[in-house]
A and B are shown apart, each in its own frame.
Chain A
Amino acid sequence: MMDFLIRALIGGLGVAAVAGPLGSFVVWRRMAYFGDTLAHSALLGVALGFLLNVNLNLAIIVLCVGLAAVLVTLQKKHIIATDTLLGILAHSSLSLGLVAVSFLDNIRIDLMAYLFGDLLAISQTDLYWVYGGGLLVIALLVAFWKPLLAMTVNEELAKVEGYPVESIRLLLMLLVALVIAVAMKIVGVLLITSLMIIPAATARKLSGTPIQMASIASFIGCLSVCGGLWASYHWDTPTGPSVVVCVAMLFLITYSLPFRRR
Chain B
Amino acid sequence: MSIRLVSFENIGITFDQRILLSNIDMTIDEGEIVTLIGPNGSGKSTLIRTLLGLQAPTSGKVIRNKALRIGYMPQKLHIDPTLPLTVRHFLALVRNVNKRDILPTLEKVGVGYLLDSQVHVLSGGETQRVLLARALLSRPNLLVLDEPVQGVDVNGQVALYNLIEDIRNELHCAVLMVSHDLHLVMAKTDTVVCINQHVCCSGTPQQVTGHPAYQALFGIPGAEESIAIYAHQHDHVHDKHGDVLDADTSQDGDHQDHTHCSHH
| Contact A262 to B82, CB < 8 A, known contacts A157-B74, A160-B52, A161-B94 | no
Binds B, one of A90-98, A187-195, A208-216: A208-216
- State the majority secondary structure of interface residues on B: loop
A210 to B93, CA, bound (A): 12
Quote the shortest CB–CB distance from A147 to chain B (angstroms).
Answer: 8
Quote the shortest CB–CB distance from A141 to chain B (angstroms).
Answer: 16
Partner of B82, one of A27, A157, A163, A212: A27
Q: How many A-B residue pairs have CB under 8 A?
A: 62
Report, as a range, how many residues of chain B touch the other chain: 20 to 34
**B53–A160 touching, CB < 8 Å:** yes
A161 to B135, CA, bound (A): 9
| Contact A28 to B80, CB < 8 A, known contacts A153-B93, A157-B134 | yes
| Contact A153 to B74, CB < 8 A, known contacts A146-B93, A160-B54, A262-B84 | no
| Contact A163 to B95, CB < 8 A, known contacts A30-B80, A153-B79 | yes
**B53–A208 touching, CB < 8 Å:** no
**A209–B70 touching, CB < 8 Å:** no
A204 at the interface (CB under 8 A from B): yes
A100 at the interface (CB under 8 A from B): no
Partner of B86, one of A161, A201, A209, A213: A209
Residues of B within 8 A of A162 (CB): 95
Residues of B within 8 A of A226 (CB): none
Instruction: Encode B75-90 as 1/0 by CB contact (under 8 A) with A.
Output: 0011110111110011
B50 at the interface (CB under 8 A from A): no
| Contact A160 to B84, CB < 8 A, known contacts A154-B79, A210-B89, A262-B118 | no
Quote the shortest CB–CB distance from B84 to chain A (angstroms).
Answer: 5
A27-B82, A160-B70, A210-B89 are known; give 16 further A-B pairs, CB within 8 A. A28-B83, A29-B80, A149-B93, A153-B83, A153-B90, A153-B93, A154-B74, A156-B52, A156-B72, A158-B93, A160-B53, A162-B95, A204-B82, A208-B118, A209-B89, A210-B84
Interface residues of B (CB under 8 A from A): 52-54, 70, 72, 74, 77-80, 82-86, 89-90, 93-95, 118, 134, 138
Query: Can you list 19 A-B contacts (CB < 8 A)?
Result: A27-B82, A28-B80, A28-B83, A153-B83, A157-B74, A158-B93, A160-B52, A160-B53, A160-B54, A161-B95, A201-B82, A204-B84, A207-B84, A208-B84, A208-B118, A210-B85, A212-B84, A213-B84, A262-B118
